[in-house]
Amino acid sequence: MEPVDIISFLKEHKNQFSKRQRLIADFLIENYDKAAYMTASVLSATVGVSESTVVRFAAEIGFKGYQQMQRILRQITMTQSTTLKRMEIAKRQLNKTNILEGVLKSDIRMIEQTLCEIDPKQFDGAVEAILRARTIYITGVRSAASLATFTEFYFHLMFDNTKLINSADPADMFEQVLKINKEDVIIGMSFPRYSKNIIKVLEYAHKCNATIIGITDSINSPIVRLSDYVLTARSDMDSFVDSLVAPFSVVNALIAALGMKHQDEISETFKNLERIWDEYEVYDKI
């Protein structure tokens, strides 16, 4: 079940549920952002049904279990909620624990979940596509802009054919990808709340038959349908701040893999760079 469909599904089928199931459905429809962070026992107590009824309800509407339904509700919350709403969620969640410990442990979980969920074949395919590309376009806006800039910084050291699309203005973005074609790769980065501009640019690249590599949080992301290769990295921290620790780790792995393939060229590049950095005293020597 798609994340955006669960609420519609509940609304459409509510009258087919039992009395207890309707209590759960009504609460989820009206308070999905709160339910996303409730255990089955807390939700059951809040609604006034047994915990087993909540668990069975999740299974009966198509989920493998309560935790999967909860994860989908969290995705909806991160995608649909305003920043103000996410701040309220963060306040409720982070007040329960030491903030420093809570945030760092959350980031650790994001990396662990990413490692379990990312498809190695998609990763390897993305590496080979980048190596074959005539031009490598990299784009990400808002919070993903930092990830795109970081990626292009290291790609630029390895390749002579990289181009960062660094504007949030749709007109500027289309001008920068105007000549994209089937010989090119575009790496699109988008995390909740998903940018319409990134989707539009990737739609244009798709029409031009360019190879699209999507770096996003979930296979339910809107850029997945446009992507030839999808690298998923979890970002759903309980905060108004996007957690980009896992996405940065995936990009680091991508850079490392490309570096291994391009080892001879990179060694020569860094040899020349070190000479220039020394000559012009770029770095302080302790």
What are 76-115's pLDDT values in tens digits?
A: 776 665 554 555 655 555 555 677 887 888 899 889 989 9
Burial class, 156, CB count within 10 angstroms (exposed 0-12 / middle 13-18 / buried 19+): middle
pTM: 0.74
Return all residues near 118 (Cβ < 8 A) that are at least 6 apart: 231, 232, 233, 250
- H helices of 50-98, in order, are 51-60, 66-80, 83-94
Q: What tokens were used for 195?
A: 């940018």
Ranges of CATH 1.10.10.10 domains, the chain: 5-80
34 close to 74: Cβ distance less than 8 angstroms = no
Angle at 205 between CA 201 and CA 208, to 5 degrees: 145
Chain region(s) in the chain for CATH 3.40.50.10490: 115-277
For 5-80, which CATH class? mainly alpha
DSSP 8-state code for residue 95: T
Q: Give the domain 115-277 fold.
A: Rossmann fold (3.40.50)
Q: In this predicted model, what pLDDT tens digit does every residue of 183-235 receive, in sequence order?
A: 999 999 999 878 899 999 999 999 999 999 999 998 888 999 999 999 999 98
Beta carbons within 8 Å of 36's beta carbon, 6+ residues apart:
70, 73, 74, 76, 77
